[in-house]
Amino acid sequence: MSEHHITPLKTYLVIAGALFCLTAITVWVSYFDFGSLNIIIAMGVATFKATLVALFFMHLLWDDKKNLTMFIMSLMFLGIFITITLLDTGFRGGVNPEVEYPINKRAAFYDSLPLTDTHGNPVDEHGTDSHEGDEDHH
């Protein structure tokens, strides 16, 4: 059996401080619009925080590396799930453009949002856009 690692209190406090700082950064960046990078920045900061928790608070840094392997494996499965699901949602218009944007664009939920065509472009209310479905929407 490997020797049990005792982490000094100082390490915990430093990590806790770092987590608070990162939380502040998350809030701060939310005031800026980076367009499509918004989600990447938010998730990046969150992932970094989760990594700190796993490595230091959950002791994965010092533990038997088998535990770290198991942990990384679970992330790998999450990656598989998300990536392959995106192969569906990202390519739905491949053959039939009508299904490119899922039906939820017509949902009641979107009634308050400006009207768009199936490609997400804004549509004039009185419609030069000839897309059939939008007429039902009115």
Partner 1 sequence: MAENQKQNYLTHPKGIMSWLLTLDHKRIGLMYLFGGIIFFFLGGVLALGMRLELAAPGNDFMSNETYNNVYTLHGAIMIFLFIIPAIPGALGNMLLPLMLGAKDVAFPRLNLASFYIYTLGALFVVYTIIAGGVDTGWTFYTPYSTTSTSNVIPMTMGIFIIGFSSILTGLNFIATIHKMRIPGLTWYKLPLFVWALYGTSLVQITATPVIAITMVLLILERLLGIGIFDPALGGDPVLYQHFFWFYSHPAVYIMILPAFGIISEIIPVHSRKKIWGYKFIAFSTLSIAFIGFLVWGHHMFTSGQSVFSQIVFSFITYFVGIPTGVKIFSWILTMYKGQVSFTPPMLYALSFLFLFTIGGLTGIFLGAVALDIHLHDTYFVVAHFHYVMQGGTIIAFLGGLHHWWPKTMGAMYNQTVASICCLGVFLGFNGTFFPQFLLGLRGMPRRYATYDPQYAELHNYSSFWSGILGLSIFIAIMNLLWSLRKSNKLDPGTNPWGAMTLEWTHTSSPPHPHNFEEEPVLEHGPYDYDKVIVEPTFKK
Q: Does 72 bind partner 1 (CB under 8 A)?
A: no
Q: Are 52 and 18 in contact (CB under 8 A)?
A: yes
The answer to whether the CB of 78 falls within 8 A of the CB of 36 is no
To which residue do tokens 């992932």 refer? 47
Identify residue 82 by its one-letter amino acid code: I
Binding span for partner 1 by CB under 8 A among 7-15, 33-41, 47-55, 108-116: 108-116
Measured in whole angstroms, how far is the alpha carbon of residue 132 from the centre of its chain?
Answer: 33
Instruction: Choose, by CB under 8 A, the member of 4, 9, 33, 104 that binds partner 1.
Output: 104
- Binding of residue 94 to partner 1 (CB under 8 A): yes
Q: Is 108 in the site for partner 1 (CB under 8 A)?
A: yes
Q: Which residues contact 97 (CB under 8 A, 6 or more apart)?
A: 118
Pair of tokens at residue 104 = 């939820």
Is the Cβ of residue 2 or residue 130 nearer to partner 1 in the bound state?
A: 2
- 44 or 102: whose CB is closer to partner 1? 102
By the rule CB under 8 A, 8 interacts with partner 1:
no
Whether residue 96 contacts residue 113, with contact meaning beta carbons closer than 8 Å, is answered with no
Phi (first) and psi of residue 116, to 5 degrees: -130, 160
81 near partner 1, rule: CB under 8 A: yes
Judged by CB under 8 A, which of 2, 74, 121, 130 binds partner 1?
A: 74
Examine residue 28 and tell whether it contacts partner 1 (CB under 8 A).
no
Residues making contact with partner 1 (CB under 8 A): 73-74, 77, 80-81, 84-85, 87-95, 99, 102-104, 106-110
